[in-house]
Amino acid sequence: MRCVLHIGTEKTATTSIQSWLYANRAMLSDNGVALSDVLDQGNNRALCACFQPAMDEYLVDKGIRSEEEKSAYFASFRSDFEDEIRRAGQSHDTMIITSEHFHRRMTSEQSLAELRDFLVRNFSSIEIVCYFREQSEVRKSLYSTGVKGGDTCKIQDFQNGDITGSHYYNYRKMLDKWSACFGKSSIKSRLFGKKLFPDGDIRKDFLAVCGLEDLSDLLDFSGTYENESLTRFQAFLARNINKVFPRYDRKGNYSWIRDRAVYVVSHFRVFRLGGRIKDPRQKSFYMAFNQENEKFFHEYFGIKKNLFSVPR
């Protein structure tokens, strides 16, 4: 059974792809495509959390705050997943694993090598699917997600340092690690943009890049894109909620009051006022990555120019 590993990147409609895949799980299974329960449904973040080198909010929210607690939590995880793979392999020829946190959290070559060795032992082949969005747009969307998650700063104060060499935003640097580990031929890079997708739908493009386009007529494409970015007014409300109710209280407990209040603000249409969040540094952020993006597209798309459009 082959493995299609969808690693993001973040802010490229990954949540929508994940929700859609699991909503169509029965039909996918009938056509030889398996999804996982062991890895968490929707976002298969548990696999990333098991192999990533650092602690993050996913683990902290589960009460895990040390390497010892992490080891105990994942004590049977790998064997449980291997059992699931073996069962799935009896009636499926493809398993899709999807989490944008592979992009963000798998930053070390050692952790990538450990993940590769695990997957190679359990799958006949591995294909890495990854979408790329212009960095200044990613930054705005990331800011919105940060506010949903508890941040209180304005966008003018968000990520002010030089991050052109960061693993998160420097796509060439990030993908070089994956290529070195899994082989460049295993990487399937795609440009993120509605106009580039069949019928303007990234889900249909995802099927195509996975070699599953024949399933398009069988699957349900109803529903809307999820995890929309906040408007200016929503961001204002959410920031102030976060100030009153921080994500974690003084004892380190997760604040469900904050979680529910921000959910209401971000999901009810009545609050969608003020238009899109505006970033006064967006164009300069774009230009800071221009040369690196030219190298990235030359290396991974075979085109000697920056394919990202200049932001308006």
pLDDT of residue 225: 66
Q: Is 128 helix (H, G, I), strand (E, B) or coil?
A: strand
Q: How far apart are CA 23 and CA 258, in angstroms?
A: 28
In the chain, the amino acid numbered 64 is I
| Burial zone of 296 (CB within 10 Å; 0-12 exposed, 13-18 middle, 19+ buried) | buried
| Secondary-structure percent of the chain, ordered helix, strand, coil, rounded to 5 | 50, 10, 40
- pLDDT of 228 higher than 90: no
Q: Between residues 170 and 61, which one has the greater pLDDT?
A: 170
Average pLDDT (9-14) is 94
Confidence of residue 253 (pLDDT cuts 50, 70, 90): confident
CATH topology for 2-135+164-227+289-300?
Answer: Rossmann fold (3.40.50)
Beta bridge partners of 96: 4
Beta bridge partners of 191: 132
Q: How far apart are CA 143 and CA 135, in angstroms?
A: 12
pLDDT of residue 159: 86
pLDDT of residue 164: 84
For residue 190, CA distances in Å to 43, 209, 251 come to 20, 8, 43
pLDDT of residue 226: 67
- pLDDT of 224 higher than 70: no
Supply the DSSP string of 210-224, one letter for each residue. TT-GGGTTTS---S-
Average pLDDT (15-28) is 96
pLDDT of residue 179: 97
Contacts of 269 (CB under 8 A, 6+ apart): none
pLDDT of residue 101: 95
- Domain range annotation of the chain: 2-135+164-227+289-300
| Burial zone of 26 (CB within 10 Å; 0-12 exposed, 13-18 middle, 19+ buried) | exposed
Q: Can you read off the two tokens belonging to residue 177?
A: 């690690």
Determine contact, residues 29/153, Cβ cutoff 8 Å: no
Residue range 43-91, pLDDT digits in tens: 999 999 999 988 888 998 888 989 999 999 999 999 999 999 999 999 9
Q: How far apart are CA 72 and CA 21, in angstroms?
A: 30
Confidence of residue 265 (pLDDT cuts 50, 70, 90): very high
Query: 54-58, 196-200, 271-275: which has the highest mean pLDDT?
Result: 196-200
Residue range 134-151, pLDDT digits in tens: 999 999 999 999 999 999
pLDDT of residue 157: 87
> What is the average pLDDT value for the chain, to the nearest integer?
94
Determine contact, residues 238/148, Cβ cutoff 8 Å: yes
